[in-house]
Structure formats: C-alpha cells, structure tokens
Chain A
Amino acid sequence: MNSTTGLVMSNITHHFGRTQVVDDVSLSIAPGELLCLLGPSGCGKTTTLRIAAGLEVPSAGTVVLNGTEVSGPHAQLPPESRHVGFLFQDYALFPHLRVRGNVEFGLAGKPAAERRARAEEMLDQVGMADYAESWPHQLSGGQQQRVALARALAPNPGLMLLDEPFSGLDKRLRDQVRDETLHVLKRNRVSTLMVTHDPEEAMFMADRVAVMRQGRIVQMDQPQTLYNQPADPFVASFFGEVNVFDAAIADGMAQTPLGPFAASLNGAGKAQVLIRPEGISLDPAGGAEGIVLAARLLGRVSLVHLRVEHPTLPAHHLHARLASRALPAEGERIRITVDPSQVFIFPAA
C-alpha cells in the first residue's frame, strides 16, 4: 500500500466511548476506482466513511489521501482542508440557497464567472440545468440527489464519499438515479468510497466491495468473487437467502439430504453447508427428491418450497429459485439437482 494517488486507510480503529465501532480496517482505492463498504447497520461502515472525510478523528490508524497523510500521527487535517466530496443520505442541500448557490458553495474564492460556468457544467452533467434558480424544497427527492451530486463534484474533489446515497428514493427511481450517478462518477474519473447496506446496489455500483461486520472487513474483492467464493457464511448469506444445513463430514464429503458434496475441509467433523436457492433446479435425472409444499411465481423466477427427505438424515425444508418459472403442483414429488458452484461449505461454528 504505497500508492501515491487515491485513498489509503491503514489499520483504522475507532471507539465511541467504550464501544469499538471500527476495528483495524485497512483499505485502498485506486484512482478512479469505486469501492463499496457493504454491511448491516451498525457495522462501522459509515464511521469509516466519516473518518476518510475528516468528520471523525480515528482513535488509531492513518489515512493517506493522494499521497498526503490527512489523519495519523503526523497530521490531522480538518474536513475543509481535505478536498473531498461528500454525498449525504439526506442530501443536505442548504435550504437558504438556490440550486445554483448550492452548487457554487464549494467554489468560494474563485472568480464569479468561473463559479457560474462550473456550476452550469455540473448541473448539465446531472441533467438539472433547468433548475438552477429553484429552491431545494421545490425539488423531488431524485432531483435533490442529483443537485447534491453536482455540488459535491463541482470543486473537483480528490475523493468522493457516498453515504447510502439512494436509500431515500423509491425503488423505480433508485435504479435510474443509481445508473446516472455511476456514469457521472466514472466520467469524472474520481476515486469513490460508497457505503450501502444493499448487496445488489453494491454489486451494481462497485469495482470492488468490502463486506464489513462488527467493525472489521470480512472480505474485500470484486463483486463476482464475493458472490462465487464467499469467505465465510456471513458473506455468503449477505448476498441473498441461503438454505443452511448442518452436516457431518465423512471421507471428505459433507453429507446432506440433497446428497454428498465435496468438502475441502481438513479431517472429519461438523460442517455448515450453504446452498443458494438459485443453485437448485428441476431435473428428472436429479439425485434428490422433494415434495412441493408451495410454489409462487415472483416475476422473473419462481420460488418453490420443498421438503426433502433422506433415509438417514432428518427431513429439511428448503427454497429453490427456478429460472424456468416452472410452477409444480402442491404435493407433487419432484426430482432436483444442485449446481455445486452454488454450494459453500464452511467448518461449523
């Protein structure tokens, strides 16, 4: 971690009173890269973001921004000296300034003509050029979000920090604004650290994702790696519902009601087997059999509730997501097969 551009956070630890909220977090963001901090609420991701901005001073650790130490033993730069852009969950537009005034806010000290030109350029980029003279309270949530993005980007920050920036928008608008935001950030080639609790959003936005739990980074990698090779049951289950089995390991195989799966765990013992519902499909030649308890069409996929039985193991209730949108009848006996790449085996906790 000796890059001279982008953001490098090393061994960041932070306490609020006696509670440790960030525990030895290290991460780096390359120039133009978008890194997502993903985790449940209270996992310390927002605090990490605020430490990067200088809004909190970490208990320990260093923050290096574009080659300059901004937090650490040698320096403690206040937020106004860090040249970062921050997009807040509630947008935090100044209610006493018009849209133009908001976007020009961070350009103080520049000549008026330059300020105006830059504000117009940014408003144009986010598609809000027609609203320069509006007041924030006259805008919808999506419009406020766009103005906030323009305002944060206007001073050309060395780092963008996004705190749950889409959580205030309804689902349909969120998808659209997310897409636009990603393009604006990429067009401006700005390093970005974003916080979210929504795995789908993280996978949509991020070049890399860091999954946080209880103040620590559990796994940090490209989205597809996290999805396909989760480091532990927490990461695996965070990206969506999973079927969980407690299994015994015998001969290097975990024994489940759906059959044995190769476990690369050392020796014999107990294992936890996680199978994604989308890894289960109908197959007349499949090795396991289940009774359909219920089947529902969810749009692009159908969800089938199954009861699988095994001669020696206890019966198990599991969910299968079928891309075929097949809807087997209730009570029907069906045969299923499991995609081994959607099966994750971890030592039992």
Chain B
Amino acid sequence: MPAYPHKHNGYKAPLPWLVAVLALAALVALPVLVVTANLLVPSGDVWTHLAATVLGSYIGNSLLLMAGVGTGVAIGGVGTAWLVTMCRFRLSRVLEWALLLPMAMPAYVVAYTYTDLLDYSGPLQSVLRAVFGWSSARDYWFPDIRSLGGAIAVMVMVLYPYVYILARAAFLEQSVCVLEASRTLGRGPWRAFGQVALPLARASIIAGIALALMETLNDFGTVQYFAVDTFTTGIYRTWLGMGQPIAAAQLGAVLMIFVAALIVMERLSRGGAKSHHTTSRYRRLPQIPLTGWRGGLALGFSLLPVLLGFVVPALVLAGWTLQVGLENSFGGDFSRLAGNSLILAVIAGMTAVAVALVLAYAQRLHPRPLIRFAVRIASLGYAVPGSVIAVGILVPLVAADRALAHGIESWTGRSPGLLMTGTIFALVYAYLVRFLAVSTNSIEASLAKVTPSLEAAARTLGCGTVTALRRVHIPMIRGSLLSAALLVFVDVMKELPATLIMRPFNFDTLATRTFTLASDERLADAGAPALAIVLVGLVPVLLLSRAIAKSRPGESE
C-alpha cells in the first residue's frame, strides 16, 4: 500500500502558481524590506545631523497628529454611527450615506480650501473685520489654520468615515442579540450605549481608528502645505531637496515602526471583532425617535461632518473654478493632466486586479500556510506610506539602472542613461504595492460566491485550473473585478507623495498639479484639477453608500 504525504486536497500546488504567488509577494514586500534594511547601512553625517536636528520634531509632531486625529475620528465616527443607526431624527436616513461623502475629498484639497476661507484675506476674517470694525490682525485673535491643530482638524474631517463605517456595521450586528436584552434588564438607551454597545463595538472602532491613523501617517500634502514637519515631509525633503536617499530611507524605517504598531493594533482588534456574532438572526432595529431640541442636536452633530468635510470644500472648489472661468479652468493643459492621471489610474487598476486575482485564486486552490502568508505579505502595502514605498522602490531601482547602464556602456561604449527610474513603470509598481490590498480584499470576498461544488463541477466537466478561472470564476465575479479596479483607480487619482517623488520628469497629473499650484499660492487655479479628483472620487463613495443603504439587516424583508 503506497503512502503519499498528505497535503490538503492532496494535490501539490503546481509549480507555476507557487512561483507566481511567491514572486508577486516578494515584489510587493521588496520596498518595505529595502527601507528597513537601510537601518543597518551607515549613512554618516546626514543621519547624525537629522537625528540631532529634526528627528525629535518629526516624532513629536507625528505623535501629536495621531493623538489629535485619533481622538477626533473616534468622537466623530462613533457619535455619528450611533446616532444614525440607533436613533431616528430629521434627515437621519439621508445622513446615513451622506456621512461617507468626505471620503471623496483628499485631505490636501480640504486643507487648501480652508486656508483660503480662513486666511487673513479670506471671506470669514474679512466679514469679522467689517462687522466688528477691526482694522488689522493685531486687533483680534484668530486661530491659524496652517498649524498642527489645523492639520488635525482637516484630517479628522476626511478620515472619520473609516471609523463611521466600521462602527456602524458593529452597531447593526449587535443590535438584536444584546441591546434589547440590556434594555429589558433595566438599562435606558443611553446607558445601554455606554455599557453594552460601545464595549461590544470596541474592536471595530479601534480597527477604524488604526486605518485612519495609517492614512494620517501617509499624508503628505496637508502637512507640507501647513508647514508641519513630519516624516513624510522629511523624507520628501531629504530625498529631493538634499539628495540623500539613504537618510530618507532611514527616516522611512523609523516611520515604519509607527506603521507596524498600527498594523498590530488593527490585526489584534480585527481578531477580537470576529467573536461578536452571538446570533445570526436580525430584526428591524428599534430606533429611538428624537424630536425637539434633542432631534436638532442630533441633526447638527451628524450634519456638521458632512458640511465641513464635503459641502464647504466642494463649494469652494466650484467657486474657484468659476472665478478662474470654465474656459481657463478646463482649457490649457487640463486635458493633458487628466489624460496622464487617467492612464496611470487605468494601468494601475488593471494591474492590481490581475495580480490580486492570481493571488486570491492561488490561495483558494491551495490554501496552505506558505501561500496564505505570501498573500498577507503582499497585502500589507495599504499600511505603508506612499513616500516610504517610493524610496523603497527608487533605491534599488536606481542601483539596478546604474548597473544596467554601466553594463551597456562597457558593451556598446555608450551610456543609455537610467532606463527604469522615472518611468511610468516604476510609478505603477509603487501604486501596485500601495493599493494591492484594496483589490485583493474585494476579490477574495467575491470569490466566496463561487462555491466549492461549483469549482468541483467545473473540474469534473473537464476544466483545468486556468480554464475554470476563465470560464467560471471570472464571469461570476465580473462585477467585483470592475469595482475593485475602480477603487484602485480612484486611490491612484488622489495619490500624492509617491507620485511626486517618482513621476517622470515633466510629467504632471491632476494631483501633482493641484499640489504645485497650491504651493505656488495659486489656489484658485488649483480648483479645476482638484474638483476633477473629487468628482471621480465620488463614484466609489456613491457605490459604497448604495451598498450601505441596502445593508440594513431586516430592512429588505
């Protein structure tokens, strides 16, 4: 009786799948590894100089930023989620999806609009001066938006939806199982929130905060514009300004310690979040009707984030566009910028979906530890700031380019220059690293629609693994493939730090042009490209809000 070593369904992972998955995972992990490895490389004076001068303020500012944003998104996200799921007041059903709208706003765009609104020469201060008869800045105190506090405010405005989405889902899930029980045990609705709902949703809330803080660490546009020194501005300056790649990478490595802490925090809380379903039975949520001043207060609290995070900035952008004139706004090189953004986003979206499909399908075919681990590694890029990824790619790429050029030169006698650095290829690689998780998560989830017996049916009817993918899986999850590509597409449109560092010479996108115009204090001119980014960003937000409106358990019955 011959014995075979046992492995899951028994088939060894065919070599091509295994090689593909491991190669892709290695490719995506490479930038982070490079950055981390640079901790061990001595870089001499520059690093000593950085450590002695700016490192302290980077760490301090980043910690303050995280503390402020974390507190803000927790209050805003949890508060609004609780109000719209558990209470009924005027506009509460509209707000349930409208609260997502600020997700379409890149933080740096919001920063530009509020700077314009709140500046000394801006409309708000002008009105105040006119009303109170002040004549100069010495006559009154007004908070400076271009500060650490301003950066915190801006990021809270656009990042609270991360907490809102997860907290809302957690509140909906626990509703029937425990809330009513706690009510019958004598807890009023508000004490039930504090003693039952909040502790039960804690894991989801922490996961949401972790995601918002990852975005905070990733932010470059806002802190750069507000002149708040953080790691991302430091990396940018050290790399492009001082031309010190190793020191930039070392800053990135220190930043990665913060990121690693957030990943651990998110993973741990997500693990805890799984144990929450004590029942799968849903019923229509009993909502507390709020009227009078309570209703007004609830409406005000929930409406404020939408107004501040979306409506006001959108109006300012529209105002700028009109002020410059539609012709000037969308004429000139607007179409070239839009074309560049479009090309990058389409290529990155399609690549991310293709790679994610290979990873998710291989994991399904051969769910063994090595492949699972590789897929997880490949999905970690969502936590890594774009500037770190850029440095992590450019350092080895420049080295490879130099070696290549040197080789070609010694062969042909002519130097071809740098072949890969500063190309769209390098940029798409960076996007892939950063946004692969977006497409992988969405494709992994949708592959669950293809049940094991459907897969087995395809196999017994004569399909090999690749044919089954083509004839069954892809047609069945086509919609999810599209929406995964769309999510990556929009993220790429908004992405700033990696694009700034890695873009080809003289290659501008809507995002980089918005940034350079704002840096040159030509805010009104930045209106059109910023508005375009926001409009494109609205598409997935609207899709998501449609899903959210439908996701109320018990509503469809």
- Chain A residues contacting B143 (CB-CB under 8 Å) are none
Nearest first, the 10 A-B pairs at minimum CB distance are A57-B10, A106-B461, A92-B453, A73-B2, A79-B459, A86-B460, A92-B457, A88-B453, A96-B475, A60-B1
In the complex, whether A13 has a CB less than 8 A from a CB of chain B is yes
Whole-angstrom distance between the alpha carbons of A105 and B461 in the complex?
7
A residues touching B (Cβ–Cβ < 8 Å)?
11, 13, 15, 17, 50, 53-61, 72-73, 76, 78-80, 82-86, 88-90, 92, 94-97, 105-106, 108, 151-152, 155, 161
- Asked if A59 and B460 sit within 8 Å, CB to CB, the answer is no
- Of A78, A85, A86, A161, the contact of B11 (CB 8 Å cutoff): A78
A15 B6 Cβ-Cβ under 8 A = yes
Contact A79 B1 (CB under 8 A): no
The reply to whether A60 and B461 form a contact with Cβ atoms under 8 Å apart is no
How far is it, in angstroms, between the C-alpha of A169 and the C-alpha of B458 when the chains are bound? 23
CB distance from B86 to the nearest CB of A (A): 36
Task: Indicate whether B3 reaches chain A with its CB closer than 8 angstroms.
Answer: yes
Q: Is the CB of A88 within 8 A of B456?
A: yes
B454 at interface, CB cutoff 8 A: yes
Q: Which residues of B contact A (CB under 8 A)?
A: 1-4, 6, 9-11, 451, 453-454, 456-464, 467, 471-472, 475-476
> Contact between A92 and B454 (Cβ–Cβ < 8 Å)?
yes
CB pair A60–B456 under 8 Å, yes or no, is: no
Cα A78 to Cα B465 with chains together (Å):
10
CB <8 Å contact, B459 and A55: yes
**Residue from B453, B460, B471 within 8 A of A79 (CB atoms):** B460
CB distance from B423 to the nearest CB of A (A): 39
A48 CB, min distance to chain B CBs, angstroms? 14
B4 contacts A80, C-beta separation under 8 Å: no
Residues of B within 8 A of A55 (CB): 9, 456, 459-460
Question: How far apart sit A86 and B461, CA to CA, in the bound complex (Å)?
Answer: 8
- Looking at the assembled complex, report how far the CB atom of B194 sits from the nearest CB atom of chain A, in whole angstroms: 45
Contacts of B3 in A (CB 8 A): 59-60
Q: Which residue of B lies closest to A15 (CB)?
A: B6
Q: How far is the CA of A83 from the CA of B459 in the complex (A)?
A: 10
Query: Would you call B10 and A53 a contact (CB within 8 A)?
Result: no
Q: Do the beta carbons of B460 and A85 come within 8 Å of each other?
A: yes
Among B4, B454, B459, B471, the residue within 8 A (CB) of A60 is B4
Which residue in chain A gives the minimum CB-CB distance to B474?
A96
Contact of A80 with B1 at beta-carbon distance under 8 Å, contacts A92-B454, A95-B476 already known: no
Contacts of B475 on A, CB cut-off 8 Å?
A: 96-97
- Of the candidates A13, A56, A84, A105, the one whose C-beta lies within 8 Å of that of B1 is A13
Report the separation of the CA atoms of residues A151 and B476 in the bound assembly, to the nearest whole angstrom. Answer: 19
Per the bound structure, the CA–CA distance linking A50 and B457 in Å amounts to: 12
Complex: chain A residue closest to B457, CB-CB = A92
Known A57-B4, A151-B461, A155-B461; contact A94-B472, beta-carbon cutoff 8 A: yes
Residue among B4, B6, B461 with max Cβ neighbours from chain A (10 Å)? B461
Instruction: Give the one of B453, B460, B464, B467 with max A CB within 10 A.
Output: B460
- Is B456 within 8 A of A79, CB to CB? yes
Residues of B within 8 A of A79 (CB): 456, 459-460
Which A residues are in CB contact (< 8 Å) with B459? 54-55, 78-80
**Nearest chain B CB to A17 CB, angstrom units:** 8
Give the distance in Å from the alpha carbon of A50 to the alpha carbon of B459 in the complex. 12
> Closest CB of chain B to A94's CB: distance in Å?
6
Extra A-B contacts (13), CB below 8 Å, given A88-B457, A94-B454, A106-B462: A55-B456, A59-B3, A60-B2, A60-B4, A76-B11, A80-B464, A84-B460, A86-B460, A94-B472, A97-B475, A108-B462, A108-B471, A155-B461
